[in-house]
Structures are given as C-alpha cells and as structure tokens.
Structure 1
Amino acid sequence: MLASLFLIGSLFTTPQMSVQAASQTIVEDSAGGTARAVNRMLGGIIGYARWPDGQRGAVRTMCLVGAPRLTHRMAPVVPGGPAVTVRRMTVDSVTSGADCDIVFLGRMPVADRQRLIGWVRGRPALTITDDDAACVYGAMFCLASRQAGLSFSVNLDAIGRGPLRIDPRVLKIGRDGEGAP
C-alpha cells in the first residue's frame, strides 16, 4: 500500500500536499544533542535516496545555503552509505553550477528559495529544509522541531519532479513512529 501511495502521490499532489513522514526524539544537552538528532535524521533521509545510475559516489556533497534553524553543526552520517561533505554556499554559487548532491535550505529570502527550488527541478539533487515545517515551498523533505521531538514532512510533488528515487519505506517510518515521544 505504501508503494501505491507513493506512486499516486508523486503523480497527483500539489506543492501544498505533504505527508508526515517521521519523528525522532530530540535530546537537549550541552554536548550537542539537538545537532546529533538533526544529523542522524539527515543521514536517514539521505540513506533513502537513490541517485540515477552513474551518479553513485563514495562521497555526497551537501550544499548548505542560508541559516539553518535547528543546528549550525551539520555533519550527517549515512549508516552503511556514502560519506557526506558539507559546504556552506550562496544561492549564486549553487545555481551557477556547483556540484551539489544535496541542497539544504536554511532561512533565506523567499526569492532566493524560489530560485534554488527552480534550479533543482529535474536535477539529481535532494532538497531538505528546516525553514518550512509545512513543506509547501518546494523542498523534498522539511524538518521541524515539535514538542515531542524532531520530525519531517515529505513533499511528494517535489520528489516526483526529479530523477532521484526515494524508497517508499520512508513513509512507513512516520506511520510507525506516530505518537512516539
């Protein structure tokens, strides 16, 4: 059923339609619990993405644009997957041909966000943000801090517009985790 939901959703959703997809408890402590939770979630999301054949690499590049809300210490680790290098970049440097496998959109002007989302369409780049909890502005995955912990939403329309494939089991994570602390 999840695979069917994924296929139907990717064909017939609008940018305003999203599916709650996962939750994870944030443990706040002085040693960087929030950063660890965010990086663990980022690694999990990246682990569900499949780049087109010929795009496999031992290292993925995450281009960080804007100011992240949840943590400034981005260092995702993909269990059993590729290493992820994080580079802070400007909108201009990304859209002028930067080699970004993942684009993380922090706080930024709306015009810059629209320009980045427009540039990514049709490219093999995963988009993630922590500045759009409702997931309506075009990123594929949208992180949010909730009372119960860290969660993310999935924009099926954005996923359906590009050559990346996201394992439909990502939708099951949230369903199984609903109500978890």
Structure 2
Amino acid sequence: MLASLFLIGASLTTPQMSAQAASQTIVEDSEDGMARAVNRMVGGIVSYARWPDESPDAARVMCVIGTPRLTNRMAPDVPGAGSVLVRRLSAATVTGRSDCDILFLGRMAMADRRQLIAWVRGRPILTITDDDAACIYGAMFCLSNRAASLSFSVNLDAIGRGPLRIDPRVLSIGRSAGGPT
C-alpha cells in the first residue's frame, strides 16, 4: 500500500509547522490526466484512514460539496479491496445526513466551509479539499496543483480532533521521497 503512494507528495501542517515535500507529476496536461491523478491521490489517502467501525472491505461514501477545482470527475481509486461511492450534495443537506464517511470540499462560501468543518469535529469523517492549498481552514488533507504536479498537505490539528486514525506512514511519504520535513 505504501508503494502506491510513494510518488504522491505531502506536507505536514500544524499550527507551528509547515513543510513542503515531493509531489506527483501529472504526466498528461489534460483533464483526464488530472482526474486520474486526483482520484489516485484521494484513493491513497482513504486507504490510510481507519474508521472506528471499520470492516476490512467496507465501502465508504464520499460526499462532494461545492465545486472541486482540480476535477469534476471524482471516482477515488482505492488500492486493495476498498471502494468509495461518490455523492454530490449541498452544504445545507450534508449536516442532516449520517452516511458521509468522507467530505470532499470544493469551492464554496467560507461560511459553509466553517459550518461543515465545525460539524465534522468529533465525528469519524475524513475531510479533503482542493480549495485550500495551505490547509488552514480545517480540512485534514489539502490537495494542491503547482507546476504540473499534484501534492497534498496534512493538517495534524484537524486529524487530532476526531476519532479517525490515520496511518503514520502517510506522514512519512515526504521523507521517503526525499523531501524536507
């Protein structure tokens, strides 16, 4: 599993620390290439998350809120046996549901983002965004596209607020790829 994420970059974000690491080069400069890269990266991130009630082959539900910046074709490619069902919802409808295991936050009003991040605290919900490269608005993982490469930041503070467990190997990807930490 670690090998599938080896080329994906990571940076860690805590209140006191931010470090940039390696990134995944997007081979094709097309929407198809970007969609594949985003879906591999999101699937890899999901594969490193553990939910409190998890069975090994549990299908997860990813609720996409707002408009993703990197691709509108969300279909996470989870290594191994896991799978992710994708639903598009409005910010207003998400908080009334209990079936979202993952929130993917695209472009949206800041008030909606704050409400969703506050609602997620203490819940076993993985949060990923492509609309906050610096990872300062509360998502756990933040995708970034710079110079034809896709990378992500990790917000340790956001991860620490909930019952999800993130395999620490995802935090060492940057070190393994030779990037600073």
TM over 0.5: yes
Q: CA deviation at 1:20?
A: 4.0
Contact 2:123–2:162 (8 Å) recurs in 1:
yes
5+ residue gaps in structure 1?
1-8
Mapped to 1, the partners of 2:22 and 2:45 lie a distance apart of 10
Mapped to 2, the partners of 1:115 and 1:21 lie a distance apart of 30
Give 1:67-106 correspondences, 5 Å limit.
67-106=67-106
Contact 2:31–2:71 (8 Å) recurs in 1:
no
Give 1:14-93 correspondences, 5 Å limit.
14=15, 17-20=17-20, 23-30=23-30, 32-52=32-52, 54-56=53-55, 58-93=58-93
Aligned match of 1:118: 118
TM-score, scaled relative to structure 1: 0.85
5+ residue gaps in structure 2?
1-11
Query: How many corresponding residue pairs?
Result: 167
- SS of the equivalent of 1:159 reads helix
Matched, 1:151 2:151: yes
Mapped to 2, the partners of 1:98 and 1:58 lie a distance apart of 16
**C-alpha RMSD over aligned residues:** 2.1
Q: CA deviation at 1:97?
A: 2.1
User: CA offsets per residue over residues 31-55 of structure 1, 9 Å max, x none?
Assistant: 7111000000001100100111x24
Mapped to 1, the partners of 2:140 and 2:70 lie a distance apart of 17
Mapped to 2, the partners of 1:49 and 1:28 lie a distance apart of 28
AA in 2 matched with 1:165: R
Give identity over the alignment, percent.
Answer: 71
AA in 2 matched with 1:96: G
User: CA offsets per residue over residues 59-84 of structure 1, 9 Å max, x none?
Assistant: 10000000000000000011114110
AA in 2 matched with 1:166: I
Mapped to 1, the partners of 2:146 and 2:176 lie a distance apart of 17
- SS of the equivalent of 1:128 reads strand
